Amino acid sequence: MQQDKPEPEGSMEWRSPSNIALIKYWGKQGNQIPMNPSLSMTLKYAFTQTEVKWRPNDGTTQGEFDFFLSGQKVGPKFEKRVGNLIKEMAKAYPVLNDLYFSITSLNTFPHSTGIASSASGLSALALSLLSAAQRATGKADEYPRFLQKASHYARLGSGSACRSIYGPYAIWGGGVNTESSDEYAIPYKPHQDFEIIYDSILIFSEKPKKVGSSAGHKLMDEHFYRQGRINQVRENSIRLLKALETGDFEMWQEVVEQEALSLHGLMFASHEPVLLLEPDTIRFIHDLNAFRAGKGLKVAFTIDAGPNIHLLYADEHREIIRNFISEWIMDHHLQIQVLDDETGKGAKQLFE
């Protein structure tokens, strides 16, 4: 990332993956500061690729841009989010006010699969815009510092996006260790047994979420279980890190599943109760519990703020788990999508 001559026009492209939270981010405060720390596994195949082309604008407008997602002009809501991100970045890089951006973005995963595309989307965007800003000024950061800044800006765009910068795992939120921060995520490397975990994502519903992320996080503001939740995450973070460090799959499963169910439990108990689970979500968990009972399989489910199951498992049980999934889908005559993914390395710059 060395450079010294400003480039008044050019293009930068980044690929940034989605991530699945094992310790859940639920509740925020201030300007995208999380209520509690979170920890995620970075995915490999579900990613967004975003190219930012820049050139000087006509001098009469600020922060103008076009944004095409999969060839379609994005809607006003997402456009506003992008505009806000550019404004935030312009505080540190005023040059952005003098540029016009043409942004094109692609997701590898099908639209409306219930996978949060904001994590990959906003992190790819933050990375590309930050690259553009540094090119345009001729002042590039060293790589670790650049990624940390990108994570910071990604966070302002969408909380979970700050974790997508890094792999194989990422921690966001202060107090987990001396390096973790509320401002940006840091990478985390676990015991080798957890370096490659498979993730089969069962898409039970492609409907858009009934409760948007911001409204969802707001449910924690006055939640009766707020302090209890903060204490719970503290313990779960300690336990999950211990499991990931020592290779303890049993503890890993316990924490991962408790976090998933706690997230939905918190939604259930909100002032306005939220039920995002679908009948098949429940059916799958019951059947999984019956199937794996006593077998000691290295498998755990997690669920985000939606109905879809992420089934996480180790390589040694890959075949038995994939067979279970296939047979379960056949047994219930379901027509659902399954996206097979695995642990990934984080964001990556693309060169022509």
Segment interacting with its own copies (CB under 8 A) among 19-27, 104-112, 285-293, 337-345: 285-293
Give every CB contact of residue 326 below 8 A, 6+ residues apart in sequence.
none
Residue 143 interacting with its own copies (CB under 8 A): no
Considering beta carbons, is residue 91 or 290 the nearer one to its own copies?
Answer: 290
C-alpha pair distances (Å), 155 with each of 95, 121, 207, 307: 21, 12, 25, 24
| Residue of 209, 218, 226, 348 interacting with its own copies (CB under 8 A) | 226
Considering beta carbons, is residue 265 or 296 the nearer one to its own copies?
Answer: 265
Site string for its own copies, 76-95 (x = CB under 8 A): --------------------
Considering beta carbons, is residue 55 or 207 the nearer one to its own copies?
Answer: 207
For tokens 């973070």, what's the residue?
237
Q: Report the distance separating Cα 87 and Cα 103, nearest Å.
A: 16
Two tokens at 134? 């540094």
Q: Using an 8 Å Cβ cutoff, are 89 and 133 in contact? A: yes
| Residue of 80, 224, 295, 326 interacting with its own copies (CB under 8 A) | 224
Nearest distance in Å: CB 282, its own copies: 5
Residue 175 interacting with its own copies (CB under 8 A): no
| Residue of 13, 183, 280, 304 interacting with its own copies (CB under 8 A) | 280
Residue 138 interacting with its own copies (CB under 8 A): no
Binding-site size, its own copies (CB under 8 A): 33
Q: Using an 8 Å Cβ cutoff, are 207 and 276 in contact? A: no
Q: Report the distance separating Cα 310 and Cα 338, nearest Å.
A: 10
Residue 294 interacting with its own copies (CB under 8 A): no
Nearest distance in Å: CB 268, its own copies: 3
Nearest distance in Å: CB 252, its own copies: 15
Considering beta carbons, is residue 47 or 301 the nearer one to its own copies?
Answer: 301
Q: Report the distance separating Cα 234 and Cα 257, nearest Å.
A: 16
Residue 140 interacting with its own copies (CB under 8 A): no
Q: Report the distance separating Cα 147 and Cα 302, nearest Å.
A: 27
Question: Helix 117-137 to helix 76-92 angle, to the nearest 10 degrees?
Answer: 40
Q: Report the distance separating Cα 51 and Cα 27, nearest Å.
A: 31
| Residue of 134, 281, 302, 343 interacting with its own copies (CB under 8 A) | 281
Residue 142's identity, in one-letter code, is: E
Nearest distance in Å: CB 201, its own copies: 19
Considering beta carbons, is residue 259 or 342 the nearer one to its own copies?
Answer: 259
| Residue of 82, 103, 147, 277 interacting with its own copies (CB under 8 A) | 277
Residue 286 interacting with its own copies (CB under 8 A): yes
Residue 223 interacting with its own copies (CB under 8 A): yes
| Residue of 87, 209, 218, 283 interacting with its own copies (CB under 8 A) | 283
Two tokens at 305? 């703020």
Nearest distance in Å: CB 71, its own copies: 34
Query: In the window 245-274, what residues touch its own copies (CB under 8 A)?
Result: 257-258, 261-262, 264-269, 271, 273
For tokens 């040694």, what's the residue?
316
Considering beta carbons, is residue 148 or 237 the nearer one to its own copies?
Answer: 237
Residue 292 interacting with its own copies (CB under 8 A): no
Residues of the shown chain interacting with its own copies in the complex, contacts defined by CB under 8 A: 223-229, 231-232, 235, 257-258, 261-262, 264-269, 271, 273, 275, 277-283, 285-286, 289
